[in-house]
Structure 1
């Protein structure tokens, strides 16, 4: 029977146990969200021994060389000595410098890290609050600007992270965990191709950053952005999107509700086969968008999608 050791505590686990489950069962309180190797909330460091890793490609070579593993993707097949990610030791401190509620349920949070953080539009960052709760969020800000790191938090439902976020005040401190890339990005080689941005809810966050990144790189092709919200009040970026479209003739913005969704999906049969589609939001919405685009003839390698996690870490 293999043994796990964390901070001097050792216990026996069943062979081929999931490492995340074994750590939490042993009282280590490792956070997690997706259990699919995407959010990186469950990052741990293996100091001795090697687990069976189902998704080694999820971390880059340097991280793996340092012993970092995604515990949700690992099985305990031999004795392991593990170090749990400690935000106070391993994270980057950041100050809360902006709190804006464009709707009662959406928080636009801006953070100023204590040292510069290099990132690309569309990437994710793990946020740790002062209660030790971690949650991955997409960056909505534009790299290389003075605005700080911007995140759009859906606080409409109870959750360990969102409940604490509602009580944040300017000057509070969060910790930043691992920065990693999802499927979404902007490629300058797309400069003359049509772009289609499709978002539901706060899935708009990374697309807001990518839209501005495309315009900053002088994208020449037409850009269409569709935002699905539960009602008209849910279009929390309606004003800045309208202002951006007014100054860029090639940008078309459409704000829709579920009642309008069937009509919009039906129009996808007109999508150009040269289109690059970028999708983000609730898994059900992204699946609907993707299915209609496939039926419209859009090649699969021209569709990039990220889904929001539905479980609080």
Structure 2
């Protein structure tokens, strides 16, 4: 039976036990959100021994060389000594610049990190609350232009991090964890290609960053942005998008409610085989977008998608 060493404790675990479950069984409060290897909240560092990793590609090579693993994706197959991610020791301090409501349910959080953070439009970052809750959120800010890191938090339902975020004030402190790369980005080689951006809810956050990156790089192809929201009050960047559409004639913005979506998608027509589509939001919404685009003639390999998986509460 393999032994697990953590935080000065030693316990025996069943062979091939899930590492996250084993840590919780030992009373170690390792945070987690998705259990799918996407959120990186359950990061641990292997000091001695090696677990069986089902998703090694989820971490950058340098992080793996440093011993970091995602506990939810690992199984204990031999004696193993680990250290859990400590946001005080391992995270980057950041100060709240502002915390404001963009709509009845969307909270805009702007953070100023203690030192500059190098990132690209479309990436996401793990945020740690002072109570040890970790959640990944997409960056809506534009690197090199916005002085802050901006996040759009969906607060329609109660959640461990969103509930804490409601209480934040300017000057409060948070910690930043892993910077993650998903599918969403802007490639300068796309400059002449039509670009479709389809977002549901706060899936608009990373696409807003990608859109501004494309415009900053003088994108020449037509850009079509569709934002799906529960109702008109939740089109939380309507004014900003309207201003961009006024300034850039190649940009078309459509704001749709759930009731309007089926008819709007039915009218989608592919104008070029070179079209690229970036999709983001709840998995069901993204699949609805992708299915309609495929029926319209867009190959799946010309669709890039990031899914906002439901978080543990």
**Distance change >3 Å, CA 78–CA 224, structure 1 → 2:** same
Deviation (angstroms), 1:271:
5.0
Distance 1:180 1:311 in 2: 17
2:218 is matched with: 218
Distance 2:20 2:10 in 1: 15
Contact 1:271 1:298 (C-alpha < 8 Å) held by counterparts: no
Distance 1:218 1:270 in 2: 23
1:9 is matched with: 9
Aligned: 1:165 with 2:165: yes
Distance 1:142 1:224 in 2: 19
Between 1:206-215 and 1:29-38, the stretch displaced more is: 29-38
Deviation (angstroms), 1:153:
0.4
Deviation (angstroms), 1:73:
0.8
SS in 2 for 1:121: coil
1:121 is matched with: 121
1:248 is matched with: 248
Deviation (angstroms), 1:269:
4.0
SS in 2 for 1:205: helix
Q: How does 1:107-256 map to 2 (within 5 A)?
A: 107-256=107-256
Contact 1:199 1:226 (C-alpha < 8 Å) held by counterparts: yes
Once superposed, which parts of structure 1, at least 4 consecutive aligned residues long, lie more than 3 Å away? none
1:69-97 CA-to-partner distances (Å, cap 9, x unmatched) read: 01111111111001000000000000000
Contact 2:121 2:186 (C-alpha < 8 Å) held by counterparts: yes
Distance 1:224 1:270 in 2: 11
Aligned: 1:67 with 2:62: no
2:48 is matched with: 48
Distance 2:89 2:110 in 1: 22
Q: RMSD of the TM alignment (CA)?
A: 1.0
1:175-234 CA-to-partner distances (Å, cap 9, x unmatched) read: 000101011010000000000000000000000000000000000000000000000101
Contact 2:7 2:83 (C-alpha < 8 Å) held by counterparts: yes
